[in-house]
Structure 1
Amino acid sequence: MRYFKNIFEFYINSSIHVALSCFALVHLTYSMFHISYNTSVAFFTFFGTIVGYNFVKYDALVRDKIVKVNAQIQWIAFLSFLSLIATGYYFFQLERFTQIIGLVFLIIVLLYTLPFFPNKKNARNWAGIKIYIVALCWVGVTLFLPIVNNNAEVTSFVFLVAIQRYILIFVLILIFEIVDLKWDDPHLKTVPQQIGVSQTKRVGVVLMFLFVLLEFLSNDFRIEFLALKTGLAITTVLFLVYANENRSRYYASFWVESIPIFWWLFLMLFS
């Protein structure tokens, strides 16, 4: 049992699960816009997420000696190195403009992690900005990257889906911020720190209601898609409502991050 627990912890801590969630959203983009599947974009996103998230999570901790470099950290570093090589390989398979967009998001990740400006912390520590940067990156990488690489037309429907996806990612991060409330530095000024947990949950519920309402504006409106997104919204709201500081770390890092994966699986099932 201990052996399987170690594997599961490595799966979570090495960002494989969050990368799979990102991978699922890329597949959703291909399905929703009926564009041909591109392996390079999907795996660039998957391996790039592992590299990006692990860099963000462990760079400063290891550099400041907050986390001891144990066997698991070494294996995570090795996986990140292999993922970096894979990311580079798939990067050069992308279209030129897609590469430029990928570099833009790489710069954002570096800005998010490293202190570039004198007397300033990294962007991750800029008060209140974290949630907007992360949601923006997820929408850019999982939605616009596949569309641009396929030279598909960027229509009003694309922006509608972008708003919906931004809302979903934003609310999922709100759940993380509630669960991490007692661990986060008060100076981060996360949403729950600024307006309180109860008000944060109300904001999340309203946003998910808007998420469903926006589906009626879709030029590809189908009742089964509405039902699927309504189920997705209800599931997300339930996780939000029952989120609190005393939840297990797996509540957010596994179950909440599984929501896009289940969305993808259900879409495949009903398509």
Structure 2
Amino acid sequence: MIRIQALFDFYLKSSIHVALSVYALVRMTQFMFGIPYDVPIALFSFFGTIVGYNFVKYDALARAKKRMMRNELKLIAFLSFISFLAVGYYFFKLERNTQLVAIGVLLLTLLYTLPFFPNRKNARNWAGVKIYIVALCWVGVTLLLPLVNAHQDLGFDFFIKCIQRFVLVFNLILVFEIIDLTKDDPHLKTVPQQIGVKRTKILGLLLLLPFYFLEFLKTNFIQKQLVVNVILVVLLALFLIFANEKRSKYYSSFWVESIPILWWLMVVLL
């Protein structure tokens, strides 16, 4: 039992679960725009998420404690290295324009992680900016990259989906910020730190309204998608409402990050 728990914790800590969420959103994009399954872009996004998230989470820790790296951290580093090789392989299978967009997302991720300017912290520590940078990266990877690689026109439906995808990720991060409220540095100025938990939940719930009703404005309107989106909105609302600082780490790191996967599975089943 303990071994299963350790494997499950490694699955979460090594960012495989969040990578599956990104993969699911890429597949959602392909479904919504009628794009055949594109293996290079889907796996590039999957492995790129593992590399990016592990770099953000463990870079400083690895540099500070390189002589005292635990076995678990070594395994995560090994997985990240293998994923990095996979990212390089699939990168050269992408279209040229997709590669340029991917480099743009990479630079945004590096800005989030590394201090580029003298006497300045990285963007992760810029007051109130973290949530927007992460949401933009997710929109870029899960929406823009698949469409550019498939030579799709970035028309009105694309901008509608950009707003919806941004709101979805923004709300998911709000749950994380509520749960991490007592752990986060006060200088981060996360949304709950600035406006309080109650108002953060109200903000998230209000954002779910445009997320749902924007679907009606799409040119390629799919009626069944409304049913799926109702379930998604209800799930997001419930996770927001019941989020608090005393929740288990699995509440956000597993259940909340499972929402994009569940969304994709609902679409597949319908």
TM-score range, shorter-chain basis?
over 0.9
Matched, 1:232 2:242: no
- 2:134 corresponds to which residue? 134
Matched-pair contact (CA < 8 Å) for 1:23–1:43: yes
Cα deviations by residue, 1:219-264 (Å, 9 ceiling, x for unpaired): 2223321111111011001000000000001100000000000000
Matched-pair contact (CA < 8 Å) for 2:174–2:204: yes
Give unpaired runs (5+ residues) of structure 1: none
Moved more, 108-117 or 167-176: 108-117
Q: Distance in 2 between matches of 1:10 and 1:237?
A: 28
Q: Distance in 2 between matches of 1:126 and 1:66?
A: 27
1:196-211 correspondence to structure 2 within 5 Å: 196-211=196-211
1:192-271 correspondence to structure 2 within 5 Å: 192-270=192-270
- 1:170 corresponds to which residue? 170
Matched-pair contact (CA < 8 Å) for 2:172–2:256: yes
Q: Distance in 2 between matches of 1:67 and 1:255?
A: 34
CA separation of 1:3 and 1:14: change in aligned 2, threshold 3 A:
same
Q: CA deviation at 1:67?
A: 11
Matched, 1:160 2:164: no
CA separation of 1:67 and 1:153: change in aligned 2, threshold 3 A:
farther
Matched, 1:44 2:37: no
- 1:112 corresponds to which residue? 112
TM norm structure 2? 0.98
Q: Distance in 1 between matches of 2:94 and 2:220?
A: 28
Q: Distance in 2 between matches of 1:129 and 1:250?
A: 25
Q: Distance in 2 between matches of 1:209 and 1:134?
A: 22
For 2:136, what is the secondary structure of its paired residue?
A: helix
Matched-pair contact (CA < 8 Å) for 1:167–1:208: yes
CA separation of 1:208 and 1:164: change in aligned 2, threshold 3 A:
same
Q: CA deviation at 1:216?
A: 1.3
Matched, 1:11 2:11: yes
Q: CA deviation at 1:69?
A: 1.6
- 1:99 corresponds to which residue? 99
Q: Distance in 1 between matches of 2:172 and 2:158?
A: 21
Cα deviations by residue, 1:189-236 (Å, 9 ceiling, x for unpaired): 000000000000000000011111111111222332111111101100
Q: CA deviation at 1:68?
A: 5.2
2:200 maps to a residue whose letter is T
Q: Distance in 1 between matches of 2:117 and 2:176?
A: 28
Q: Distance in 2 between matches of 1:63 and 1:178?
A: 29
Moved over 2 A (4+): 61-68, 220-223
Q: Distance in 1 between matches of 2:121 and 2:138?
A: 23
For 1:267, what is the secondary structure of its paired residue?
A: helix
Q: CA deviation at 1:61?
A: 2.3
Matched-pair contact (CA < 8 Å) for 2:156–2:218: no
Moved more, 104-113 or 38-47: 104-113
For 2:89, what is the secondary structure of its paired residue?
A: helix
Q: CA deviation at 1:65?
A: 3.7
- 1:63 corresponds to which residue? 63
Q: Distance in 1 between matches of 2:105 and 2:13?
A: 22
Q: CA deviation at 1:153?
A: 1.0
1:46 maps to a residue whose letter is F
Give unpaired runs (5+ residues) of structure 2: none
| CA RMSD after TM alignment | 1.2
Matched-pair contact (CA < 8 Å) for 1:61–1:67: no
Q: CA deviation at 1:181?
A: 0.6
- 2:26 corresponds to which residue? 26
Matched-pair contact (CA < 8 Å) for 2:178–2:192: yes
